[in-house]
C-alpha cells in the first residue's frame, strides 16, 4: 500500500453519485482528479475494482463531497446549469436532495441502507427502465440519453462482477 493511499471498505454515497459513476463507465475523466477537489475519482476507482465494497446510502455530504471546495459544513454551495432545466433549483444541494429522494423512492432505499455495487446495479436494472419521474425537469431527449447510459453502465458493471 502506497503512502497516502485511502483504504475504503465502505463508501458513504448519494444514490445519484453511484448512478452517475456507473453511467459514466466509459468516460475516463471520471477516474481523474477534478479541479473542485472532490473524491469522485477515488470512489469510482474503488467501485470498479472492489465488488465487495459496501455502499452506505447518504443523502447529505458523502465521501465524494467531503474534500470538495464547495462542501461548506456539509452543505454544497455550488450551483447547477439550469439552462436546459429551468424548473430545477439553482442550488446544487437542493437539486441533489431532490433527485436523491426520487431515486430512494423509486428503488425503495433510504439513508443508511447498505448494498454492494452489484446489488445496487440489480436494483437499477429492475427499476430504472423509465427515469422520467426522476429527471422530470430535463428535456425528454436528455432523459432518454441518461436512461441509456445507466442501462449500458449497469450491463457493463454486472458483466464485470456478477459471474
Parse the chain into domains and list their residue ranges: 10-161
Q: What is the DSSP string of 39-53?
A: SHHHHHHHHHH-TTP
pLDDT of res. 161: 84
116-140 confidence digits (pLDDT tens): 999 999 999 999 999 999 999 999 9
CA distance 152 to 80: 25
CA distance 126 to 135: 18
pLDDT of res. 8: 65
Could you count the other beta carbons within 10 Å of the beta carbon of residue 121? 26
pLDDT of res. 1: 44
3-state helix, strand, coil in the chain (%, to 5): 45, 10, 45
CA distance 19 to 77: 22
pLDDT of res. 53: 95
The residue ranges of the chain whose pLDDT is under 50 are 1-2
What stretches of 50-139 show up as alpha helix (H) in DSSP? Answer: 92-107, 117-127
pLDDT of res. 84: 94
Amino acid at each position: 500500500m502506497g503512502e497516502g493511499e485511502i483504504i475504503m471498505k465502505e463508501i458513504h454515497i448519494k444514490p445519484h453519485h453511484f448512478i452517475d459513476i456507473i453511467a459514466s463507465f466509459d468516460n475516463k475523466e471520471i477516474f481523474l482528479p477534478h479541479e473542485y477537489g472532490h473524491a469522485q475519482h477515488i470512489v469510482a476507482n474503488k467501485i470498479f475494482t472492489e465488488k465487495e465494497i459496501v455502499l452506505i446510502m447518504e443523502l447529505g455530504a458523502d465521501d465524494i463531497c467531503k474534500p470538495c471546495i464547495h462542501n461548506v459544513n456539509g452543505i454544497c454551495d455550488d450551483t447547477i446549469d439550469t439552462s436546459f432545466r429551468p424548473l430545477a433549483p439553482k442550488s446544487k444541494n437542493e437539486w441533489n436532495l431532490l433527485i436523491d429522494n426520487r431515486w430512494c423512492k423509486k428503488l425503495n432505499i433510504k439513508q443508511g441502507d447498505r448494498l454492494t455495487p452489484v446489488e445496487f446495479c440489480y436494483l437499477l436494472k429492475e427499476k430504472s427502465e423509465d427515469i422520467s419521474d426522476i429527471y422530470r425537469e430535463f428535456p425528454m431527449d436528455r432523459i432518454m440519453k441518461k436512461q441509456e447510459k445507466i442501462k449500458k453502465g449497469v450491463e457493463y458493471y454486472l458483466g464485470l462482477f456478477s459471474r
